[in-house]
Structure 1
Amino acid sequence: MKLILTQPVSGLGVAGDVVDVKDGYARNYLMPRKLGTAWTKGGQKQVDAILAGRESRSHRSEEEAKAAKAALQSTTVIVSARAGQGGRLFGAVTSGDIAEAIVASGGPQVDKRKIEVPTPIRNVGEHQAHVRLHDDVSVDVTVVVQEA
């Protein structure tokens, strides 16, 4: 089945890509989560709109992304969250929380969809997050979670 990806899918593609996947994967996983829509003849307009939106959200050039990378490497992102006994959080620290903390610490504006956290952050302490700034530029960020 041909699909137009509306969100980035790890191992498959980014928003705006036209991919061919198995029917069950499309019907049971991608489409219910609004990660893709069925390809139609008029789908090219939708692909163009997705690509235009992605370009407006991404950093304009590779040089800007490299400057943002340098700024992010030198900063430690501090997130405050409510925690119980033993440093276990009530909930988890999300990529949106990390994006807000980056801006609050004086870093560049980063789209929360570009932040990947390998394992959910559910404890107080130091964690790593991966930020994709451009197709060729990415950086690992240290996230320190403190008890609020």
Structure 2
Amino acid sequence: MQVILLERVGRLGAIGSVVKVRPGFARNYLLPQGKALRATRDNLGRFEAQRANIEARNLELKAEAETVAEALNGQIFVVIRQAGDGGHLYGSVAPRDIAEAAQAAGVEISRTQIALDKPIKNLGVHPVSVQLHPEVFAEVSVNVARSQDEAALQASGKTVAQLRAEEEAAAAAEFDVKSLFDPDEARGDDDDR
């Protein structure tokens, strides 16, 4: 099926491009979302008549998205989850969870705007891209931790694994090998035989 794009769509084209897509993609996504029109002679004529208005509206939306992106870039959102000792989550952090954390911080982000290649499954600070407009992205960080204290620790640059390794190294340094052997046992008293 051929459609006329009313806005830039990733991997398809820019405004006004006539592209061939699968019928299901057009019927279920592009047409209902208002991102495209069927490529008929009537629609081509209507698009060309409204092209200046569509492009002007796109520029306005892009400018608004850029101002929001400036405010959003670099922000850190904390998501509290349960995890095992190795830092692997019991579940995952999905775009919905990030959107809820952003709303709790007072930022309105839709879960559909969060571009996550795969769910987050480990503790730590993870970079996440937010698509505010087809041409405007903002970079935020998601701090996944078991508690607020752990989130503050991770924000300072240390991971839970590093902290655990430091504690183990300190415990190993305090460990006294000589205390393992009692001097009497080391001689091998054979009086008991």
State the TM-score, normalized to the length of structure 1: 0.62
Shift in alpha-carbon separation, 1:85–1:3, aligned structure 2, 3 A: farther
Compare the two structures and name the one with the higher strand fraction.
1
> Helix, strand or coil: the match of 2:133?
coil
Deviation of 1:18 (Å):
7.8
**Greater helix proportion:** 2
Alpha-carbon separation, structure 1, partners of 2:3 and 2:61:
28
Q: Which residue of 2 aligns with 1:110?
A: 109
User: 1:36-55 alignment to 2 at 5 Å?
Assistant: 36-37=26-27, 47=31, 49-51=32-34
Higher relative contact order (Cα pairs below 8 Å, separated by 6+ residues): 1
Matched-pair contact (CA < 8 Å) for 1:92–1:120: yes
Identity of aligned residues (%): 35
Counterpart of 1:130 in structure 2 is 129
Q: 1:37: Cα distance to partner?
A: 3.1
Whole-angstrom CA distance in 2 between matches of 1:92 and 1:18: 39
Aligned residue number for residue 57 of structure 1: none
> Where do 1:34-73 residues align within 5 Å?
35-37=25-27, 47=31, 49-51=32-34, 61-73=61-73
Query: Counterpart of 1:71 in structure 2: which amino acid?
Result: A
Normalising by structure 2, report the TM-score: 0.49
2:83 maps to 83
Cα 1:36–1:94, aligned 2, differ >3 Å: closer, same or farther? farther
Deviations along 1:10-51, one digit per CA (max 9) or x if unpaired, are 6347xxx98534xxxx59xxx5xxx5538xxxxxxx93x521
Paired residues in the alignment total: 119
Take 1:134 and 1:61, find their aligned partners in 2: how far apart are those partners? 7
Rg comparison, structure with higher value? 2
Give the distance between the partners of 2:116 and 2:80, measured in 1 at CA. Answer: 17
Name structure 2 gaps, 5 residues minimum.
36-59, 148-193
Task: Report what 1:94 is aligned to.
Answer: 94
Residues 10/86 of structure 1: CA separation in 2 closer, same or farther (3 Å cut)? farther
